[in-house]
Structure 1
Amino acid sequence: MNTLVQDAQKAARRVGLPSDTIIINGGRPLRGTIDVRGAKNLVTKAMVASLLGDTKSILRDVPDISDVSVVASLLEAHGVTISGSAETGILIFDPSNVASANSAEIDALSGSSRIPILFCGPLLHRLGHAFIPDLGGCRIGDRPIDFHLDALRQFGAIVDKLPSGIDISAPNGLHGANIEFAYPSVGATEQVLLTAVRVKGTTELKNAAIEPEIMDLIAVLQKMGAIISVEPNRVILIEGVDSLKGYDHRALFDRNEAASWASAALATGGDITCKGAKQQDMMTFLNVFRKIGGAFDIEEDGIRFYHPGGDLKPVTIETDVHPGFMTDWQQPLIIALTQAIGTSIVHETVYEDRFGFTDALVEMGANIQVHKNGLEGGERRVPRRPLEQAAVITGPTKLHGSEIVVPDLRGGFSHLIAALTADGRSTVSNVGLIGRGYGDFVAKLEKLGADFSFEV
Structure 2
Amino acid sequence: MRDAAPWWRPDPGAVLRIEGGRVLTGRWRLGGAKNAVLPLMVAALLTPHLVTLRRVPAILDVAVLAGLLRRLGAGLSWSRDAAGLTLTIAADTLHPADVDAELVARMRASVLLLGALLARCGQARLPMPGGDAIGLRGVDFHLAGLRAMGATIEVAGGVIDARAPHGLHGAAIDLPMPSVGATENLLIAAVLARGTTIIRNAAREPEITDLARCLAAMGATIEGAGSPVLTVQGDRPLLGAQHAVLPDRIEMGTMACAAALTDGDLVLEGADAALLGAAAPLLAEAGVALDVAPGGLRACRAPGGLRGVDFRTAPFPGVATDLQSPLMALLAVAPGASAITETIFEQRFRHVDELRRMGADISLRGTTAWLRGVPHLSGAPVAGTDVRAAAALLLAGLGAQGVTELRGLDHLDRGHEAMVERLQACGAGVERR
- The amino acid of 2:429's aligned partner reads D
- Deviation of 1:356 after TM superposition, in Å, equals 1.4
One-letter amino acid of the structure 1 residue matched with residue 93 of structure 2: N
State the partner residue of 1:367.
361
SS of equivalent residue, structure 2 residue 112:
helix
1:14/1:164 CA distance change after superposition, 3 Å: farther
Kindly provide the CA deviation profile for residues 91-148 of structure 1, in whole angstroms up to 9, marking residues without a partner as x.
Answer: 0011112223434xx1122332112210112212332211111221112111111001
Q: Cα deviations across residues 368-391 of structure 1 (Å, max 9, x unaligned)?
A: 11112xxxxxxxxxxxxxxxx111
Deviation per residue, 1:219-273 (Å, 9 max, x gap): 0111111111107961111111242111100111000011011111111211121
Q: Following the alignment from structure 1 to structure 2, what is the Cα–Cα distance between the partners of residues 182 and 127?
A: 28
| Aligned-residue identity in percent | 37
Structure 1 residues 96 and 442, CA gap change in structure 2 (3 angstroms): same
Give me the TM-score of the superposition, normalised by structure 2.
0.95
Match of 1:102 among 90, 98, 105: 98
Q: Which residue of 1 aligns with 2:39?
A: 45
How do residues 234-245 of structure 1 correspond to structure 2 at under 5 angstroms?
A: 234-245=228-239
Match of 2:429 in 1: 451
Residues 328-365 of structure 1 deviation map (CA, whole Å, 9 limit, x = unaligned): 11210111111211101111111122111011111110
CA pair 409-162 structure 1, distance change in 2 beyond 3 A? same
Counterpart residue type for residue 182 of structure 1: P
Q: Which moves more between the two structures, 360-369 or 17-26?
A: 17-26
Matched, 1:141 2:135: yes
The counterpart of 2:51, out of the listed 57, 68, 92, is: 57
Output one character per residue of 1:45-74: Cα deviation in whole Å (capped at 9) or x when no partner: 111111111310110000101111111111
Deviates more, 1:308-317 or 1:336-345: 308-317
Describe the SS at the equivalent of 1:89: strand
Q: State the TM-score, normalized to the length of structure 1.
A: 0.90
Which range is displaced more, 234-243 or 148-157?
234-243
- Counterpart amino acid of residue 395 in structure 1: G
The answer on whether the counterparts of 1:15 and 1:435 sit within 8 Å (CA) in structure 2 is no
Amino acid at match of 1:93: I
SS in 2 for 1:317: strand
Distance of 1:316 and 1:125 partners within structure 2: 43
Which stretch shows the higher mean deviation, 225-234 or 429-438? 225-234
Contact 1:27 / 1:420 at 8 angstroms: preserved in 2? yes
Q: What secondary structure does 1:93 align onto?
A: strand
Decide which of 117, 125, 130 is 1:123's aligned counterpart: 117
Letter in 2 for 1:412: A
Contact 1:52/1:245, CA 8 A, preserved across alignment: no
**Structure number with higher relative contact order (C-alpha < 8 Å, ≥ 6 residues apart):** 1
| Equivalent residue, structure 2, for 1:194 | 188
Q: Distance in 2 between matches of 1:56 and 1:233?
A: 29
Partner residue, 1:382:
none
Aligned residues between the structures: 426
Where 1:172 maps in the other structure, the secondary structure is: coil
Deviation of 1:310 after TM superposition, in Å, equals 4.3
1:93 aligns with 2:86: no
2:331 match? 337
**Contact map agreement 2:22 2:399 (CA 8 A) in 1:** yes
Q: Which residue of structure 2 lines up, in the alignment, with residue 347 of structure 1?
A: 341
Q: 1:251 aligns to what?
A: 245
Once the two structures are superposed, what CA deviation does each residue of 1:262-295 show, in whole Å capped at 9, x if it has no partner?
1111112111211111122124222111111221
Distance in 2, matches of 1:302 and 1:242, equals: 37
- Matched with 2:107 is 113
Alignment partner of 2:179 out of 174, 185, 200: 185
Q: Separation in 2 of the partners of 1:54 and 1:27?
A: 52
Cα distance between partner residues in 2 of 1:454 and 1:410:
18
Structure 2 counterpart of 1:393, from 360, 366, 371: 371
Which residue does the alignment assign to 2:164?
Answer: 170
Q: Is the contact made by 2:420 and 2:431 (CA closer than 8 Å) also made in structure 1?
A: no
Corresponding residue for residue 290 of structure 2: 296
SS in structure 1 of the partner of residue 192 of structure 2: coil
Q: 1:362 to 1:86 in 2, by over 3 A?
A: farther
The answer to whether residue 417 in structure 2 is matched with residue 442 in structure 1 is no
Unaligned runs of 5+ in 1: 1-10, 373-388
**Which one is further off, 127-136 or 256-265?**
127-136
Distance 2:185 2:169 in 1: 14
CA distance in 2, matches of 1:314, 1:347: 14
Tell me by how many angstroms 1:366 deviates: 0.5
| Aligned residue type for 1:451 | G
SS in 2 for 1:198: coil
Structure-2 separation of matches of 1:121 and 1:170: 11
Q: Is the 8 A contact 2:209 2:226 kept in 1?
A: no
2:177 counterpart SS class: coil
Measured in 2, the distance between the counterparts of 1:313 and 1:116 equals 39
Aligned partners of 1:77 and 1:101 also within 8 Å: no
Q: CA deviation at 1:15?
A: 4.7
Residues 232 and 289 (structure 1 numbering): CA distance in 2 closer, same or farther, change over 3 Å? closer
Kept in 1, the 8 Å contact 2:198–2:230? The answer is yes
How has the CA–CA distance of structure 1 residues 305 and 15 changed in structure 2, closer, same or farther, with 3 Å as cutoff?
Answer: farther
1:229 to 209, 223, 240: 223
Partner of 1:74: 68
Q: Secondary structure at the match of 2:388?
A: helix
User: 2:315 — aligned with what?
Assistant: 321
1:385 maps to which residue?
none
Match of 1:266 in 2: 260
Distance 1:397 1:367 in 2: 11
Query: Secondary structure of 1:209's partner?
Result: coil
The letter of the residue matching 2:87 is L
Question: What secondary structure sits across from 1:184 in the alignment?
Answer: coil
8 Å contact from structure 2 (residues 195, 234) kept in 1:
yes
Q: Provide closer, same or farther for how the CA distance between residues 40 and 232 of structure 1 changes in structure 2, counting only shifts above 3 A.
A: closer
Q: Provide closer, same or farther for how the CA distance between residues 231 and 77 of structure 1 changes in structure 2, counting only shifts above 3 A.
A: closer
Aligned to 1:383: none
